[in-house]
């Protein structure tokens, strides 16, 4: 999130890369826009369903994921954090992450899954959207106090999105889709239950 400092590995790398941009004409929202266009281009490439397009889609996706770190770091070190920038960044997340699964589902329509791959992509994508909505709604609460998914060592949980690129490069989108179509709904249910339990526990009189 743009208003929060982080010391994860990718944030540190992004911080170094954007430092020369401080005080220049490029703003965090410019980077967010480029990030969004790259993410959309990656999804379009995945939807083609051809090996070479998957490889390029993976490249674009990893670059998009990195720029998702870079915009926030530039905002922080240049003092350009804003409510609109935060909202804009989250809108891009809410669109691109579910769209990734829908796109690979479309791209795998000629696999043994047939048209079911599209259904599975939609299921995984909608589940991802639910998780994103739950997390944002929870962390924006005044009494939230902490992130839903705490950092794991030098990594944030959403660093997992970087792995989608190598998955595409190594031709493993099919098992990813199958796993996500099952795991994403379960993860969404677990996330919702965890958040409910957390707030119920916090509101219980002591």
- The pLDDT tens digits of the residues spanning 13-45 come to 999 999 999 989 999 999 999 999 999 999 999
Architecture of domain 9-203: Up-down Bundle (1.20)
Q: pLDDT tens digits for 121-164?
A: 999 999 999 988 888 777 666 555 556 566 666 777 888 999 99
Confidence of residue 6 (pLDDT cuts 50, 70, 90): low
Cβ-based neighbours of 58, under 8 Å, separated by 6 or more: 42, 164, 165, 166, 167, 168, 169
pLDDT of residue 204: 57
Supply 14's token pair: 């992004």
CB neighbourhood size of 131 (10 A) = 22
């Amino acid at each position: 999130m743009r208003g929060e400092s982080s010391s994860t590995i990718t944030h540190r790398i992004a911080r170094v890369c954007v430092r020369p941009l401080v005080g220049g004409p490029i703003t965090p929202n410019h980077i967010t826009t480029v990030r969004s266009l790259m993410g959309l281009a990656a999804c379009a490439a995945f939807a083609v369903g051809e090996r070479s397009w998957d490889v390029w889609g993976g490249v674009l996706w990893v670059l998009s994921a990195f720029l998702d770190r870079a915009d926030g770091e530039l905002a922080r070190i240049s003092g350009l954090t804003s409510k609109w920038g935060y909202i804009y960044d989250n809108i891009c997340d809410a669109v691109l992450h579910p769209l990734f699964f829908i796109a690979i589902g479309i791209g795998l329509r000629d696999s043994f899954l047939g048209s079911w791959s599209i259904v599975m992509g939609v299921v995984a994508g909608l589940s991802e959207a639910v998780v994103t909505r739950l997390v944002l709604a929870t962390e924006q609460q005044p009494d939230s106090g902490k992130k839903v998914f705490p950092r794991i060592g030098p990594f944030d949980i959403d660093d997992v999105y970087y792995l989608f690129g190598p998955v595409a490069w190594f031709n493993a989108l099919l098992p990813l889709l199958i796993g996500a179509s099952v795991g994403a709904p379960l993860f969404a249910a677990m996330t919702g239950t965890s958040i409910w339990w957390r707030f119920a526990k916090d509101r219980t009189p002591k």
